[in-house]
Amino acid sequence: MNLETGYTVRRARTSDVPGIEALVEPLVQQRILLGKDRVVFYEAVQEFRVAVDASGALIGCGALHVMWEDLGEVRTLAVDAKWLGRGVGYAIMQRLEADAQGLGLSRLFCLTFEVGFFARNGFSDMGTETVDPAVYAELVRSPDEGVAEFLDLARVKPNTLGNTRMVKRLN
């Protein structure tokens, strides 16, 4: 526990899934995040990092999903409304970036309405940036919606209207 901040960021556990769902649900209702079935959270629990307060209550979450040899996606970043503005999102991002670098990734992608937060964390609008045609040919085979969002495929447009595709290059 960091005594200055009052919270810790750690690897998620299966017992955290209901709390992750509870953190995400208000953002789903506001149409900021896409809803996911509980089974999807369990399948991806190893991708998640969570922030917990001194009592052990979940106050934030975020996931890192590997998309390609050098590319990962920051997913499902959420912070309890009572903890906004206290560095929880930043701390989770720092942990996800460290995880990404540990995996050998050099770029992070996100699809977000929270452009200001991600810009403050080094992301920029990726505009029409694409990947090498050979990599595109491989990625387009993925059934993963995040990969489709990264590639800006038409089939995900109804879910992503208004979101900004952002990317960050890691050191």
Domains of the chain plus CATH, in order, are: 7-169 (3.40.630.30)
Strands 124-125 and 58-68: unpaired
pLDDT at 72: 93
pLDDT in tens, 2-50: 767 899 999 999 999 999 999 999 999 988 888 899 999 999 999 999 9
- Nearest Cα to Cα of residue 76 among 142, 21, 8: 21
- Confidence (pLDDT) at 162: 66
> What amino acid occupies position 71?
L
Q: How many helices (H) and strands (E) does the chain have?
A: 7, 7
- The 10s digit of each residue's pLDDT in 127-157 is 776 667 777 677 777 777 777 777 666 656 5
Q: Indicate left, alpha or beta for 162 from its phi (over 0: left) and psi (-120 to 50: alpha).
A: left
- Please, what is the average pLDDT of the chain? 88
What is the pTM (predicted TM-score) of this model? 0.86
Q: Say what the pLDDT of residue 144 is.
A: 74
Residue range 98-102: average pLDDT?
A: 97
Tokens linked to 169: 């290059």
Give the Cα-Cα-Cα angle 119, 29, 111 (nearest 5 degrees).
Answer: 30
